[in-house]
């Protein structure tokens, strides 16, 4: 047992008080003196050239300050993804900066045509209606497979084949053809992940204001304001320098990856420049549905082969991803899919290819799970099919192919250092009763309601060391009462990272948890950091905090030596301990000194030793520290309606150490329910005739509610990671990877059908039940079997 | 479009502000009265984030015209605390159970839960689920919210029994 004061305990996270009292301030709650309202005119058609825009009526409306079109935009192109600024130049040669703020050629329903600023929101809305646009419609292409055919309608003139990005599989190795030829069993599954919407309840918003010295202040809910600032200056407004912008992320009303791309900030800046007033640009929920943020739909075919003992001999993975109208996170998520999805198991013969296509549909992006959830849905079903062909327990097939430390890691060319996936599988399997509940491939189920069980395993990131710019720095200062100001860069989207970092700070400094005060979200205050994503904050930022914390701890111990001398006790700093705000020593029993005395004395020193206790800490991750998870789902299928209900879900997570088990559980529960939505109900539908988004409200796009929550249990395997702060790995993203895959395998166990597209909506399940999957009609095809 | 003075009884206090016939209750609460704890999230009554109580009943303030709310006793999240600043047992339970993540749905969850507990002091787990089924939370997966409401109900009842 450790004797931590705070690490491993369910401490209350500091930001929750403002959230239950209504006092937390989000961007929409801020009022800048003189602020006016900005709105954006979105295209009603999917593909057209703008022949003429007449803004005169809108400009003549009293209260309208400016109306801007493509003619008023900088002539530099950008991508909504800010990731280019976190990658080395050579790493991502396919990066395309392919859009302007306002366009003269619309490429999807929702593309930005014009922007207005007005004294109030009602006037701004009215002004949008008064803008006259004459469109010259162009033939559109909505399906990525159609887009990739020779002679397809072109989305971007400088990209005549509509290929936004392509690459061979990063794991290409061995002799795949030979391995398939020699295999005893070969199985294949193909399927497409859906465009799951992030559905952060706070819709996209930004406030831009120029200060009297010409400096630009942006308030917006960014997951990575330093990166966004760099991107905005380098790509969108090249006349601005990094230091010209102060970017503040207030409380964030949900992120899930969406806030890692630029939202309305460029439009807010453009309007603020034009009308010389602070401008707040807001968007509606309907615009959010039609807009530029969803998971990327990735069409995949995965073929696997094994020998008679279930040793995985070969894998082939083909992906066609739909970028939508512009390239944002679709290429990077699909790349991560290839690495993470196949990286969970050992295999010496791998081949594959990725193609990312432009279409006249909303731009797709990155979503929690970042490619891995998309990939697991297909790969984990292909594995089950392989196990079925071998007549083998699907858990046994996975166990026989797990990586062990020393095997190639799934991300960068370094060996895997740490994995507890095998323990995770056994723990979760025992908990859910796999041995009793999985009845073999030939099990017959009777009755209208049929139950089944399925599993899935994953490996995911704790940051992308060796690939992205994975460093972070923090600053600490101790006040006279023994409280600590921690200046550190994560973005609190609700994941609880401020609480976890406060625990790391309190533990490493020896100060009281309740007296850790965190300043974050303001690029003028915090140090450079690429933002909160890829489950990186706990590992990378946590290590930076711990690095500063031990310095503060040492300073306190050094200065405490003289305080013990007051008690006629001679000690060195190494004899002294600081914990939970109290200074003690085993050599001075009965004496406990409040750290506030040291901190006060350090500042109120009128001699020569005066200095506030302060330290900075930095950390750069250069390696890969994957976390792992095994999950099991039990479902019930109503064979009369096709409705799938998740009854029970058990997962076990290889977390290194849980800094705060309550926060970890909160992340797991939340990501599971998002995963249930991804698996069963969240259906993003585009009208094939017009390209319009049909699922444009919470009535037509169904999120899970309280009524959809199953029994669930999230177990932790804690084996401290050498490189983690107090041994911790990341955890926030992983929970969304397994649910759809495990549920899909459970549905097959229940009723013997596999649906090839997400979500496993009742109508699709019913169709498959009635017709059998072999005759299910194809929508578009990697292997011709989409439903 | 006629402007007029609207009178509202919010959290037990009378507040006057200029309103127009088209103004929504959520906009008056947030923009005119400065009570920004109530959130705009879907503007179509589908997510519950803007829930306030009108005469004790939960309503979507994004679907309610401000002019129609003048004769009603309105309660928002800012009114949950006791006069001395003590948190409402629901707020305390949300903190203890870590039942808020991004926080955007939290005000609506709390107000809907308050209406439930006022009407049904001993709800079953199923009662809580049904009462909150119109409130969307994208972060928590609901489990900790349901746990918190049940815990708060128990604590409120225990306090009542001690008082009686």
Mean pLDDT of A112-116: 98
Which of B41, B76, B143 has the CB atom closest to A201's CB atom?
B41
Whether B67 and chain A come into contact, CB under 8 Å, resolves to no
Residue A336 pLDDT > 70, yes or no?
yes
Task: Note whether B143 contacts A669, CB cutoff 8 Å.
Answer: yes
Whether B41 and chain A come into contact, CB under 8 Å, resolves to yes
Residues of B in contact with A663 (CB under 8 A): 98
Residues of chain A above pLDDT 70, percent: 97
Lowest mean pLDDT of A358-372, A623-637, A766-780, B42-56, name the range. A766-780
| Tokens coding A500 | 């976890």
Residues of B in contact with A707 (CB under 8 A): 129-130, 133
pLDDT in tens, A155-166: 999 999 999 999
DSSP A172: -
Supply the pLDDT for residue A410.
83
Residue A785 pLDDT > 70, yes or no?
no
Which of A198, A493, A672 has the CB atom closest to B141's CB atom?
A672
Question: How many residues are given for chain B?
Answer: 164
Task: Note whether A255 contacts B42, CB cutoff 8 Å.
Answer: no
Task: Note whether B102 contacts A662, CB cutoff 8 Å.
Answer: no
Residues of A in contact with B49 (CB under 8 A): 201
Distance from CA of B78 to the nearest CA of A (A): 6
Q: Report the mean per-residue pLDDT for chain A.
A: 94
Residues of B in contact with A649 (CB under 8 A): none
- 10 Å CB burial of residue B20 (0-12, 13-18, 19+) is middle
pLDDT: is A55 or A773 the higher one? Answer: A55
Residue A781 pLDDT > 50, yes or no?
no
- Range 92-151 of B in CB contact (< 8 A) with A: 94-96, 98, 100-107, 110, 128-130, 132-136, 138-146
- 10 Å CB burial of residue B101 (0-12, 13-18, 19+) is buried
Residues 6+ apart with CB under 8 A from B102: A19, A200, A201, A202, A251, A252, A253, A254, A255, A493, A494, B138, B139
Task: Note whether A200 contacts B102, CB cutoff 8 Å.
Answer: yes
Nearest Cα to Cα of residue B51 among B133, B119, B121, B125: B133
Whether B52 and chain A come into contact, CB under 8 Å, resolves to no
Supply the pLDDT for residue A775.
42
Question: Which of A196, A201, A257, A282 is most worth mutating to test chain B (most B CB atoms within 10 A of its CB)?
Answer: A201
Output A761-767 pairs: Cβ under 8 A, ≥24 positions apart.
Answer: A761/A642, A761/A680, A761/A681, A761/A683, A762/A641, A762/A642, A762/A643, A762/A644, A763/A642, A764/A642, A765/A637, A765/A642, A765/A643, A765/A644, A766/A641, A766/A642, A767/A642
What CATH number was assigned to the domain covering residues B4-79? 3.10.20.30
Task: Name the residue of chain A whose CA is nearest to B36's CA.
Answer: A29
Residues of chain A above pLDDT 90, percent: 91
Low-confidence ranges of chain B (pLDDT < 70): 1
Q: A264 and A206 in contact (C-beta within 8 Å)?
A: yes
Whether omega before B118 lies within 30 degrees of 0, making that bond cis, reads no
Residues of A in contact with B32 (CB under 8 A): none
pLDDT in tens, A429-441: 999 999 999 999 9
pLDDT in tens, A271-313: 999 999 999 999 999 999 999 889 999 999 999 999 999 999 9
pLDDT in tens, A543-575: 999 999 999 999 999 999 999 999 999 999 999
Nearest Cα to Cα of residue B50 among A253, A266, A30, A300: A253
The architecture that CATH gives domain B89-163 is Orthogonal Bundle (1.10)
Task: Note whether B41 contacts A703, CB cutoff 8 Å.
Answer: no
Distance from CA of A268 to the nearest CA of B (A): 20
Task: Note whether B47 contacts A698, CB cutoff 8 Å.
Answer: yes
Supply the pLDDT for residue A778.
38
Task: Note whether B43 contacts A284, CB cutoff 8 Å.
Answer: yes
pLDDT band at A786 (very low <50, low <70, confident <90, very high): very low
Cα of A35 vs its chain's centroid, Å:
32
Which of A12, A254, A706 has the CB atom closest to B132's CB atom?
A706
Query: Which neighbouring-strand residues pair with A746?
Result: none
Domains and CATH numbers, chain A: 16-22+471-620 (3.30.365.10), 31-138+210-277 (3.90.1170.50), 298-465+623-775 (3.30.365.10)
Task: Note whether B140 contacts A496, CB cutoff 8 Å.
Answer: no
Task: Note whether B101 contacts A21, CB cutoff 8 Å.
Answer: no
Supply the pLDDT for residue A776.
43
Which of A28, A201, A251 has the CB atom closest to B47's CB atom?
A201
d(CA A649, CA B51): 31
> What count of other Cβ atoms lies within 10 Å of the Cβ of residue A401?
17
Mean pLDDT of A326-352: 95
pLDDT band at A95 (very low <50, low <70, confident <90, very high): low
Residue A1 pLDDT > 80, yes or no?
no
Residue A743 pLDDT > 90, yes or no?
yes
Angstrom CA distances, A182 to A190, A314, A315, A380, A423, stand at 22, 10, 13, 22, 32
Distance from CA of B47 to the nearest CA of A (A): 7
pLDDT: is A786 or A342 the higher one? Answer: A342
Which of B41, B44, B132 has the CB atom closest to A202's CB atom?
B41
Question: Same CATH fold, B89-163 and B4-79?
Answer: no
Distance from CA of A16 to the nearest CA of B (A): 6
Question: Which of A15, A18, A19 is most worth mutating to test chain B (most B CB atoms within 10 A of its CB)?
Answer: A19
Question: Which of B24, B105, B141 is most worth mutating to test chain A (most A CB atoms within 10 A of its CB)?
Answer: B141
Nearest Cα to Cα of residue B48 among B158, B159, B142: B142
pLDDT band at A2 (very low <50, low <70, confident <90, very high): low
Task: Note whether B102 contacts A494, CB cutoff 8 Å.
Answer: yes
d(CA A153, CA A434): 51
Angstrom CA distances, B65 to A29, B16, B22, B71, B134, stand at 21, 16, 7, 12, 20
Task: Note whether A673 contacts B141, CB cutoff 8 Å.
Answer: yes
Task: Note whether B91 contacts A26, CB cutoff 8 Å.
Answer: no
Residues of A in contact with B87 (CB under 8 A): 20-21
pLDDT in tens, A145-195: 999 999 999 999 999 999 999 999 999 999 999 999 999 999 999 999 999
Supply the pLDDT for residue A779.
43
Which of A18, A285, A494 has the CB atom closest to B101's CB atom?
A494
Distance from CA of A27 to the nearest CA of B (A): 11
Domain boundaries, chain B: 4-79, 89-163
Q: How many CB pairs under 8 A join A and B?
A: 165
pLDDT band at A426 (very low <50, low <70, confident <90, very high): very high
């Amino acid at each position: 047992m450790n004797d931590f004061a705070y690490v491993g305990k369910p401490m209350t996270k500091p930001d929750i008080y403002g959230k239950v009292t209504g006092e937390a301030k989000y961007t929409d709650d801020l009022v800048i003196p003189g602020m006016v309202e900005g709105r954006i005119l979105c295209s009603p058609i999917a593909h057209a050239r703008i022949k003429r825009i007449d803004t005169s009526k809108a400009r003549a409306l009293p209260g309208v300050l400016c109306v801007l079109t493509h003619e008023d935009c900088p002539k530099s192109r950008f991508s909504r993804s800010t990731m280019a600024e976190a990658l080395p130049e050579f790493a991502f040669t396919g990066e395309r900066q392919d859009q302007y703020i306002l366009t003269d050629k619309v490429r999807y329903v929702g593309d930005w045509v014009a922007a207005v600023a007005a004294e109030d929101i009602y006037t701004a809305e009215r002004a949008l209606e008064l803008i006259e646009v004459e469109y010259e419609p162009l033939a559109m292409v909505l399906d990525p497979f159609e887009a990739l055919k020779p002679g397809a309608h072109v989305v971007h003139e400088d990209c005549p084949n509509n290929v936004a990005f392509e690459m061979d599989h990063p794991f290409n190795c061995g002799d795949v053809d030979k391995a398939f030829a020699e295999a005893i069993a070969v199985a294949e599954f193909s399927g497409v992940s859906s465009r799951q919407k992030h559905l952060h309840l706070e819709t996209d918003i930004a406030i831009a204001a120029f200060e009297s010295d010409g400096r630009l202040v942006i308030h917006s809910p960014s997951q990575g304001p330093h990166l966004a600032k760099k991107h905005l200056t380098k790509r969108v407004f090249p006349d601005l320098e990094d230091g010209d912008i102060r970017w503040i992320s207030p409380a964030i009303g949900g992120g899930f990856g969406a806030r890692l791309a630029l939202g309305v900030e460029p439009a807010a800046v453009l309007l603020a420049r034009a009308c010389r007033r602070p401008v707040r640009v807001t968007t509606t929920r309907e615009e959010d549905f039609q807009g530029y943020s969803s998971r990327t739909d990735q069409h995949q075919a995965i073929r696997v082969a094994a020998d008679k003992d279930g040793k995985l001999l070969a894998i082939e993975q083909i992906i066609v991803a739909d970028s939508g109208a512009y390239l944002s996170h679709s290429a990077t998520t699909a790349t991560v899919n290839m690495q993470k999805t196949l990286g969970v198991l050992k295999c010496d013969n791998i081949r594959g290819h990725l193609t990312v296509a432009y279409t006249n549909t909303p731009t797709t992006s990155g979503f929690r799970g970042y490619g891995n959830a998309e990939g697991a849905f297909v790969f984990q079903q292909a594995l089950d099919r392989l196990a079925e062909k071998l007549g083998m327990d699907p858990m046994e097939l996975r166990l026989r192919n797990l990586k062990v430390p020393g095997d190639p890691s799934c991300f960068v060319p370094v060996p895997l250092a740490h994995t507890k996936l095998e323990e995770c599988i056994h723990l979760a399997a025992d908990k859910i009763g796999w041995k009793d509940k999985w009845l073999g491939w030939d099990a017959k189920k009777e009755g209208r309601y049929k139950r089944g069980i399925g599993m899935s395993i994953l490996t995911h990131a704790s940051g992308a060391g060796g690939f992205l710019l994975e460093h972070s720095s923090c600053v600490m200062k101790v006040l006279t009462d023994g409280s600590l100001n921690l200046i550190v860069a994560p973005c609190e989207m609700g994941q609880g990272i401020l609480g976890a970092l406060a625990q790391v700070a309190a533990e490493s400094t020896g100060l009281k948890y309740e007296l850790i005060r965190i300043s974050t979200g303001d690029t003028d205050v915090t140090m450079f950091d690429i933002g909160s994503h890829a489950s990186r904050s706990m590992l990378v930022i946590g290590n930076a905090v711990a690095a500063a914390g031990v310095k503060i701890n040492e300073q306190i111990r050094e200065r405490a030596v003289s305080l013990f001398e007051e008690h006629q006790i001679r000690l060195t700093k190494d004899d002294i301990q600081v914990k939970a705000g109290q200074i003690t020593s085993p050599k001075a029993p009965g004496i406990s000194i409040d750290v506030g005395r040291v901190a006060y004395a350090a500042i109120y020193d009128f001699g020569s030793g005066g200095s506030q206790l302060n330290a900075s800490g930095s950390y750069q991750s250069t390696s890969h520290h994957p976390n792992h998870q095994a999950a099991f789902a039990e479902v019930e299928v109503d064979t009369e309606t096709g409705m799938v209900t998740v009854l029970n879900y058990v997962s076990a997570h290889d977390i290194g150490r849980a800094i705060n088990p309550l926060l970890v559980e909160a992340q797991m529960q939340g990501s599971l329910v998002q995963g249930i939505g991804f698996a069963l109900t969240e259906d993003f539908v585009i009208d094939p005739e017009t390209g319009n988004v049909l699922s444009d409200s919470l009535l037509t796009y169904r999120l899970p509610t309280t009524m959809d929550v199953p029994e669930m249990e999230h177990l932790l395997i804690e084996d401290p990671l050498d490189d983690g702060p107090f041994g911790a790995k990341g955890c926030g993203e992983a929970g969304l990877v397994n649910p759809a895959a495990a549920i899909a395998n459970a549905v097959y166990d229940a009723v013997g059908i596999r649906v090839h597209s997400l979500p496993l909506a009742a109508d699709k399940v019913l169709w498959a039940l009635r017709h059998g999957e072999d005759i299910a009609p194809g929508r578009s095809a990697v292997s011709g079997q989409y439903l | 479009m006629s402007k007029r003075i609207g009178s509202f009884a919010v959290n037990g206090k009378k507040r006057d502000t200029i309103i127009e016939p088209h103004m929504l209750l959520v906009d008056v609460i947030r923009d005119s009265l400065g009570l920004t704890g109530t959130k705009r999230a879907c503007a179509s009554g589908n997510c519950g984030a803007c829930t306030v109580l009108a005469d004790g009943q939960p309503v979507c303030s994004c679907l309610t015209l401000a002019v129609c709310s003048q004769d009603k006793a309105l309660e928002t999240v800012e009114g949950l605390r006791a006069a001395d600043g003590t948190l409402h047992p629901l707020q305390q339970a949300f903190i203890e159970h870590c039942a808020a993540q991004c926080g955007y749905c939290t005000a609506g969850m709390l107000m809907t839960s308050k209406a439930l507990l006022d009407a049904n002091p001993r709800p079953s787990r199923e009662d809580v689920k049904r009462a909150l089924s119109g409130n969307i939370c994208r972060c928590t997966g609901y489990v900790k919210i349901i746990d918190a409401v049940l815990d708060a109900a128990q604590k409120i009842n225990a306090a009542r029994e001690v008082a009686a």
